[in-house]
């Protein structure tokens, strides 16, 4: 007797999700700008991981005989700053600081968003009302003011800064997660999971979350540069990581003071900062087009 071909409805939901992401990856690869940006960001991550091996000097190593040295002077490829520290080395370590804080902040924000958004969307009723009321309160509260308050109270360590940024930036993603849960919880595969005796957490993590990863990846790609900007803004206000640990905001602030006599102090960190922001933005645009090809 001939075997009957499986229909899409008969396929395991995990296999359908894998197929969806494979098609999204194919669409993403056709976006050359997004693909180049992804490669650029991957290189930045590698540079940040191996910063102690790549940087030609220590980030706090000074040479008072080469203060504000220009481009490729005395062995300093990008010159030195106002106290003789190598700009290239400080940019590399600043990149490391920015990525640690940004990725940590987004991990905190994503965890809170997934837990609160899924609980609200799946439980419904009063639980949904109370959790959404909490998100509304935090949504109208100035997020940057909340970051400043938390950093001022708990200190300026990298851990404190990324937790503060994460706590202030989960609300929008939580609403997105809730909307995805409301859309997916009435689907056939969720009903099938309930019929097989799966409990609420199992259904949320095994059936709903894998099918919500597309919008979450898009939110993540836009959230990381937002966290980098927040960290740089704190440094400009004097609330960034403790010196001598370098950060982009600190380098830009110091460069502004010497822009008329030594413009390279401002040009190099600002240029890399702008390129990084553009790369993450183009990756986000590519992911959005990949998961929503008709928009």
Question: What would the pLDDT profile of 94-126 be if each residue is shown by its tens digit?
Answer: 999 999 999 999 999 999 999 999 999 888 888
Mean pLDDT of 238-251: 86
User: What residues does each domain of the chain span?
Assistant: 82-291
State whether residue 282 is helix, strand or coil: helix
- What are the Cα distances from residue 123, in Å, to 181, 188, 236? 10, 18, 43
Mean pLDDT of 156-173: 90
At residue 15, the pLDDT reads 55
* pLDDT band per the 50, 70, 90 thresholds, residue 249: confident
Q: pTM of the predicted model, to two decimals?
A: 0.83
Q: Which structure tokens are listed for 38?
A: 């992804």
Give the whole-angstrom CA distance, residue 205 versus residue 156.
35
Check if CATH label 1.10.3720.10 holds for domain 82-291.
Answer: yes
pLDDT band at 282 (very low <50, low <70, confident <90, very high): very high
Of the candidate ranges 47-51, 162-166, 199-203, the one whose mean pLDDT is the lowest: 199-203
Per-residue pLDDT, 12: 52
Helices (H), 124-208: 125-140, 143-154, 158-168, 171-184, 188-195, 200-202
- When pLDDT is cut at 50, 70 and 90, the band that residue 1 belongs to is very low
Q: Provide the token pair at 187.
A: 């689907």
Measured between alpha carbons, how far apart are the two ends of the chain, in Å? 45
Confidence class for position 256, pLDDT limits 50, 70, 90? confident
């Amino acid at each position: 007797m001939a075997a009957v071909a499986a229909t899409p409805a008969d396929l395991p939901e995990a296999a359908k999700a894998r197929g969806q992401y494979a098609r999204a990856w194919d669409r993403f690869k056709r976006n050359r700008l997004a693909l180049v940006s992804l490669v650029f960001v991957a290189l930045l991550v590698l540079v940040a991981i191996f910063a102690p091996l790549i940087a030609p000097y220590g980030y706090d190593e000074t040479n008072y005989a080469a203060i504000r040295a220009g481009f490729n002077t005395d062995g300093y490829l990008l010159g030195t700053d106002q106290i003789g520290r190598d700009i290239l080395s400080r940019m590399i370590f600043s990149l490391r600081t920015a990525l640690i804080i940004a990725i940590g902040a987004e991990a905190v924000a994503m965890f809170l968003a997934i837990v609160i958004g899924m609980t609200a969307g799946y439980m419904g009723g009063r639980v949904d009302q109370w959790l959404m009321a909490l998100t509304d309160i935090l949504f109208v509260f100035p997020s940057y003011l909340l970051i400043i308050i938390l950093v001022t109270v708990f200190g300026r360590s990298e851990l404190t800064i990324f937790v503060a940024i994460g706590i202030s930036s989960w609300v929008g993603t939580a609403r997105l997660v809730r909307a995805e849960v409301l859309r997916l919880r009435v689907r056939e595969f969720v009903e099938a999971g309930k019929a097989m005796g799966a409990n609420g957490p199992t259904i949320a993590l095994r059936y709903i979350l894998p099918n919500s990863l597309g919008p979450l990846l898009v939110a993540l790609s836009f959230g990381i540069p937002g966290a980098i900007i927040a960290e740089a803004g704190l440094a400009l206000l004097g609330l960034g990581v403790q010196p001598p640990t370098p950060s982009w905001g600190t380098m830009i602030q110091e460069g502004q003071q010497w822009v008329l006599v030594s413009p390279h102090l401002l040009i190099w960190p600002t240029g890399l900062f702008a390129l990084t922001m553009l790369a993450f933005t183009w990756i986000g645009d590519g992911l959005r087009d990949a998961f929503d090809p008709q928009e």
